[in-house]
Amino acid sequence: MMVGRLLADSIERRSGVSLWRQIADKILHAIAIGDFTENAALPPEVALAERYGVNRHTVRNAISALVR
């Protein structure tokens, strides 16, 4: 369901929660529901940036936070 995915992937820019933290949470959720396979490579940063409508560096910060 594309509309559901678009809503699930949307980022709340005025929420007070940093964009990278929102992306990190979205990635964890995508893994939990099986959208991304656990222990497999994530899509490229550019693809994730496009999916979430953010800069590639924001995605990189989110992934770095998850790795820590």
Q: What is the structure's pLDDT at 5?
A: 53
11 within 8 A of 23, measured Cβ to Cβ: yes
Q: What is the structure's pLDDT at 65?
A: 97
For tokens 């594309």, the residue is 2
Q: What is the structure's pLDDT at 8?
A: 57
CA 50 to chain centre: 10
Closest CA to 66 of 32, 11, 53: 32
pLDDT tens-digit profile of 23-42?
999 999 999 999 998 889 99
CATH class assigned to 2-67: mainly alpha
3-class DSSP assignment, residue 27: helix
Helical ranges in 1-68 per DSSP H: 2-9, 19-32, 45-52, 56-67
Q: What is the structure's pLDDT at 39?
A: 87
List, for the chain, all residue ranges whose pLDDT scores fall below the cut of 70: 1-8
